[in-house]
Amino acid sequence: MTAADFRPVLAQDALSGHSVIVTGAGSGIGRAIALRLLALGARVTGVGRRAETLEETGRMAGADAAYAAEVCDVREADAVEALVARVGEAHGLTGLVNNAGGQFFARAEDISPRGWQAVVNLNLNAVFAITRAARPYLEASRGAVVNMSLSPVERGAIGMSHSLAARAGVLAMTRALALEWGGQGIRVNCLGPGTVLTPALADEAHAPHVAKLVAGVPLGRATSPEEVAELTAFLISPAGALMTGQLIQIDGGAHLGVPVNMLGEDGA
């Protein structure tokens, strides 16, 4: 199967009546998620710092789509809490997709305390603040949280100590909240995409490393944003009703690493 063979599987109205916040909805994976949730009938609030790209997502969805763009830096806890309350009071909340995230790539010795803090604030502290704010609304709807992580979160990677520390924290939080909030009917899961060729990774500086990463994927290709979007929609929908506390790596097997091959070159 190539990325072009991908077909969505959920029914047209699978998310009708849902209200979902998607952070980072103005680009890449977050935009694909927002568009898919809208197509499945959900109301989507797209969050990010740039109004222009968030609004472009709305235009791509079409005039009939129940979409609102909300400009907000997710690291501003007070602003994020107020935003969640506004959406929750107006429309309820059945889903929260914590997709906004990112990092610069550097060896640990080249990461200043402020650089570490910036990445941990974005990828861990902001996720806690928004998820905590969403809890009462998710309890009311028996809703779901999807946290965007990284395929190598349990394995390590070079140049990402700050980001991996933050994502490992999110994974631990995912499992803890799945336990704490399961009794309230709230499900919490993590997705670990492999290499996704979004504009963030498609520049010249990253191209050679990215090509190597993709070449090493057992299933031989990158992950598409649409594949991540379909899995996110599944986890929010009733089809995912018994899934919680999971890390699902959608990476063509890349998280398995370089194979130990006891049969030699031709044995794979």
Ligand X SMILES: CCCCCCCCCCC/C=C/C(=O)SCCNC(=O)CCNC(=O)[C@H](O)C(C)(C)COP(=O)(O)OP(=O)(O)OC[C@H]1O[C@@H](n2cnc3c(N)ncnc32)[C@H](O)[C@@H]1OP(=O)(O)O
Cβ distance to ligand X smaller for residue 39 or 164: 164
98 binds, among ligand X, ligand NDP, none (CB under 5 to 8 A by kind): none
Longest dimension (CA), the chain: 61
Token pair in block for residue 70: 């909300």
Rounded to a whole number of angstroms, the minimum distance from the CB of residue 260 to ligand NDP is 25
99 binds, among ligand NDP, ligand X, none (CB under 5 to 8 A by kind): ligand NDP
Cβ distance to ligand NDP smaller for residue 65 or 150: 150
Residues forming contacts to ligand NDP in the complex (CB under 6 A) are 23-24, 26-30, 47-50, 53, 73-75, 99-102, 122, 148, 150, 193, 195-196, 198-201
For residue 215, the tally of other CB atoms under 10 A from its CB is: 9
Closest CB to ligand NDP: residue number: 28
Cβ distance to ligand X smaller for residue 2 or 112: 112
Q: What is the 3-state secondary structure (H, E, C) of 156-197?
A: CCCCCHHHHHHHHHHHHHHHHHHHHHHCCCCEEEEEEECCEC
Residue recorded with tokens 């998607």: 22
For residue 238, the tally of other CB atoms under 10 A from its CB is: 10
Token pair in block for residue 264: 């030699």
Kindly state whether residue 50 participates in binding ligand X, applying the rule CB under 6 A: no
Rounded to a whole number of angstroms, the minimum distance from the CB of residue 268 to ligand X is 17
Kindly state whether residue 155 participates in binding ligand X, applying the rule CB under 6 A: yes
CB 194 within 8 A of CB 252: yes
Q: Quick one: 248 exposed, middle or buried, by C-beta within 10 A (0-12, 13-18, 19+)?
A: middle
* Footprint on this chain of ligand X (rule: CB under 6 A): 102-104, 106, 110-112, 114-115, 118-119, 122, 150-152, 155, 194-195, 200-201, 213, 251, 254-255, 257
